[in-house]
Amino acid sequence: MARSVKPEEYRAKREQILDAALRMIHSRGYEQMTVQDILDDLAISKGAFYHYFGSKQAVLEALVDRMSTQAVASMLPLVQDPTMSALEKLRRYIEASTSVKTENRGAVEAVSTAWFSDHNALVRQKLVTGMTDVTSPTVIEPILRQGVEEGSLAIRHPAQAARIIMGLTLSVGDEIAQVLAGGARDDVRVRAAFEAWFEAVERIVGAAEGSLSDLTASVTAAWTDDQP
């Protein structure tokens, strides 16, 4: 008779498998990773693995769900803060989106080359879709709707605008990661990417010119050796 697994034990083992898979995606790429690699890394049986995940694809989907859930959980206190204006929330969202990356700059630099290899193309595609589907309606859209109610933002279609902004956020993250993957310092390209991002978001939400783009100097400095 199989031993019953307590819910906390079940969750802990799933997390171990996901952590192992993520390490291998960074080091060798999703396409090259096999279920056997995960079994060897954790010293578990194939039966144990399939008790938690039905396939390698299921592991990838669970990783994307975890990343999306963590991103949303970290931003919900900001979204729900009744004391902040929509524009201030939008600024804080932008700062938080970049701080997650800058706080882990060394790790980003280390995995950027592998991340943009063909072996991780499916991971990138899944992550973009997953982050957009989860974060847009729960984080960005409520901020935009608040701005419309306040009269500080001019948006006809908040739901669609939220998805576009999320897409731009992920795109600028990819741009910076590709700069890091290239190995050569390119502060001009980094600054240009952030300037373009801020200017585009200002136009999409109908915010005053400079209301977001004044963040360029501080955000750029976090990715370079310059001071704002």
Evaluate whether residue 228 is within a structural domain: no
Q: Please state the rounded mean pLDDT for residues 83-110.
A: 72
In a domain, 198, yes or no: yes
More confident residue, 144 or 97: 144
Q: Mark whether 13 and 68 lie in a shared domain.
A: no
Q: Are residues 114 and 187 in the same domain?
A: yes
Same domain, 165 and 210: yes
The answer, yes or no, to whether residue 193 has pLDDT greater than 70, is: yes
119 and 198 share one domain: yes
> Is 174 among the domain residues?
yes
Angle of CA points 175, 179, 185, to nearest 5°: 145
What average pLDDT does the segment 74-84 reach?
Answer: 93
Q: Would you say residue 206 lies in a domain?
A: yes
CATH number of the domain where residue 38 is located: 1.10.10.60
Residues 118 and 34 placed together within one structural domain of the fold:
no
- pLDDT for the residue 226: 46
111-170 residue pLDDT tens: 455 566 667 777 778 877 888 898 899 999 999 999 999 999 999 999 999 999 998 888
Burial per residue of 120-136, b for 16 or more beta-carbon CB atoms within 10 angstroms, e otherwise:
beebeebbbebbbebbb
Q: Within this chain, do residues 24 and 133 fall inside the same structural domain, yes or no?
A: no
Stretch 192-211: mean pLDDT = 91
**Residue 161: C-alpha distances to residues 10, 100, 137, 141, 173 (Å):** 39, 23, 10, 8, 18
What is the arithmetic mean of pLDDT over 175-187? Answer: 71
Residue 27 sits in the same domain as residue 131: no
Q: Say if 65 falls within a structural domain.
A: yes
Lowest mean pLDDT among 91-95, 156-160, 180-184: 180-184
Domain that holds residue 204: 60-223
- CATH number (domain holding residue 77): 1.10.357.10
**Residue 219, both tokens:** 């955000």
Summary mean pLDDT of the chain: 83
Q: Are residues 81 and 179 in the same domain?
A: yes
pLDDT score of 116: 63
Q: Can you give the pTM of this predicted structure?
A: 0.78
Domains identified in the chain, total number: 2
Q: Note the pLDDT of residue 113.
A: 55
pLDDT beyond 50 at 104: no
What DSSP state is assigned to residue 138? Answer: I
215-222 LR contacts (CB < 8 Å, sep 24+): 215/91, 215/94, 215/95, 216/191, 219/94, 219/95, 219/98, 219/194, 220/187, 220/190, 220/191, 220/194, 222/98, 222/99, 222/102, 222/105
- Whether 1 is in a domain gets the answer no
Q: Does 113 lie in the same domain as 27?
A: no
Same structural domain, 20 and 83: no
> Is 2 part of any domain?
no
**Judgement on whether residues 104 and 191 belong to the same structural domain of the protein:** yes
The tens digit of pLDDT for each residue in 18-62 reads 999 988 887 888 888 899 999 999 999 999 999 999 998 899 888
Co-location of 65 and 48 in the same domain: no
DSSP string, 18-66: HHHHHHHHHHT-TTT--HHHHHHHHT--HHHHHHH-SSHHHHHHHHHHH
